[in-house]
């Protein structure tokens, strides 16, 4: 009887530890600017749009499919606080922040976001980097990538607000950057891990198992192609989990509420309607059933492509409410 009780206790402890490892992260875009804060419009005016002009709906002509409750600046501390509060409420553990280079607009905004997050009680939402591109002008792109990533780690990873797993900073690598270097990412990862004495985790934007020889986990930024092709998403998520689990790596499933880039790419738009949350819920259900390690949300605020779950004029807090429900279920393993 005593042995059974001990085994039951050990099982309970192990189950709790496993449940605590389940994470929900959202792709985050710190690239928006307004004249009041940044001295001009940044990103809200993509594709020839002019936020100074009002549409027939009396909303600003912004480069967005849906419309945010206000056009904001990613450098505004109040905006960062609001986003952290919304993410915390929705059960999001970390933001994966689009990053385009040293001293880029996104780099400066990321620095500010970390400082704001550090002051939040308990730091409920962490921040990490989405490494988008290797510098195009670099003669030696491997060296350039190493330099970029070491800059990120040296400048930011000591912050308590930087997202880590087992005290190791986590960095996500986007598919564009993967394609730029191909198998030479092996050299980048090896060099960075050598310099950091192994204290860094890389998650690559690919579902190809061969990349697990290089990266510590796999993810897919946006599964819109697979969704439009009517791929079985549960099978897709399970496949990622299985190949990662086999090698002791981190598996991710990416969920989207919908997709519509017609307001910035009108010549060749891609559209997948949201169906009032139906698609988002179906993908969450599949991710939970697949039992992946992390669920990634594409996106918190990529307004250009219409994947945002941030509150909007059109949907209010609907997608945050759905996120809250499913994030809680995912973390409970149900």
Q: Identify the CATH number of the domain in which residue 139 sits.
A: 3.20.20.80
Examine residue 5 and state whether it is found in any structural domain, yes or no: no
**Tokens describing residue 239:** 């496949």
Q: What is the pLDDT of residues 8-60, one digit of tens each?
A: 443 333 333 333 489 999 999 999 999 999 999 999 999 999 999 999 999 99
**Contact between residue 229 and residue 240 where contact means Cβ atoms under 8 Å apart:** no
What is residue 140's DSSP assignment? S
Residue 53 lies in a domain: no
Looking at residue 3, what is its pLDDT?
41
Predicted confidence at residue 12, as pLDDT, reads 39
Q: Where is 55: in which H helix or E strand? A: none
Which SS3 state, helix, strand or coil, does residue 58 take? coil
Answer whether residue 59 is part of any domain.
no
What DSSP designation does 172 have?
A: E
Structural domain span for residue 301? 23-38+72-332
Per-residue pLDDT of the chain (334 residues; tens, 9 = 90+): 444 444 344 333 333 333 348 999 999 999 999 999 999 999 999 999 999 999 999 999 999 999 999 999 999 999 999 999 999 999 999 999 999 999 999 999 999 999 999 999 999 999 999 999 999 888 899 999 999 999 999 999 999 999 999 999 999 999 999 999 999 999 999 999 999 999 999 999 999 999 999 999 999 999 999 999 999 999 999 999 999 999 999 999 999 999 999 999 999 999 999 999 999 999 999 999 999 999 999 999 999 999 999 999 999 999 999 999 999 999 998 7
Instruction: Give dist(CA 132, CA 112) in Å, integer.
Output: 19
* Whether the Cβ atoms of residue 324 and residue 86 lie closer than 8 Å to each other: no
Q: How many CB atoms lie within 10 A of CB 177?
A: 21
pLDDT of residue 204: 98
Number of domains the chain is built from: 1
SS3 content of the chain, % helix, strand, coil (to 5): 45, 15, 40
57 lies in a domain?
no
**First and final CA of the chain: distance in angstroms?**
30
CB 160 within 8 A of CB 154: no
Residue 307 forms part of a structural domain: yes
SS3 227: helix
pTM of the predicted protein model: 0.93
Is-contact 102 146, C-beta < 8 A?
A: no
125 lies in some domain = yes
74 alpha-carbon distance from chain centroid: 16
Q: Does residue 299 have a cis peptide bond before it, meaning omega lies within 30 degrees of 0?
A: yes
């Amino acid at each position: 009887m005593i042995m059974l009780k001990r085994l039951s206790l050990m099982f309970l402890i192990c189950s709790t530890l496993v449940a605590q490892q389940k994470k929900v992260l959202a792709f985050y875009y710190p690239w928006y600017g307004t004249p009041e804060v940044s001295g001009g419009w940044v990103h809200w005016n993509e594709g020839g749009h002019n936020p100074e002009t009002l549409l027939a709906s009396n909303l600003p002509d912004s480069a967005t499919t849906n419309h945010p409750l206000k056009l904001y600046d990613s450098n505004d501390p109040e905006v960062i606080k609001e986003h952290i509060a919304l993410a915390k409420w929705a059960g999001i553990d970390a933001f994966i922040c689009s990053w385009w280079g040293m001293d880029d607009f996104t780099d400066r905004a990321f620095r500010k976001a970390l400082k704001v997050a550090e002051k939040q009680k308990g730091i409920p939402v962490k921040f990490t980097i989405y490494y988008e591109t290797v510098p195009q002008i670099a003669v030696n792109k491997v060296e350039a990538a190493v330099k970029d990533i070491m800059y990120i780690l040296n400048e930011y990873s000591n912050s308590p607000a930087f997202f880590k797993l087992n005290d190791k900073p986590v960095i996500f690598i986007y598919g564009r950057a993967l394609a730029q270097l191909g198998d030479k990412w092996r050299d980048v990862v090896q060099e960075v891990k050598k310099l950091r004495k192994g204290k860094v985790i890389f998650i690559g934007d690919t579902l190809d198992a061969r990349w697990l020889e290089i990266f510590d986990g796999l993810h897919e930024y946006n599964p819109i192609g697979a969704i439009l092709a009517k791929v079985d998403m549960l099978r897709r998520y399970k496949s990622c989990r299985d190949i990662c689990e086999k090698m002791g790596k981190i598996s991710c499933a990416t969920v989207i509420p919908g997709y519509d880039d017609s307001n910035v790419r009108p010549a060749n738009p891609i559209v997948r309607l949201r169906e009032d949350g139906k698609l988002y819920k179906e993908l969450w259900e599949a991710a939970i059933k697949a039992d992946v390690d992390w669920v990634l949300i594409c996106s918190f605020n990529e307004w250009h492509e219409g994947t945002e779950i941030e509150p909007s004029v059109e949907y209010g807090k609907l997608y945050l409410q759905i996120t809250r429900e499913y994030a809680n279920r995912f973390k409970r393993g149900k």
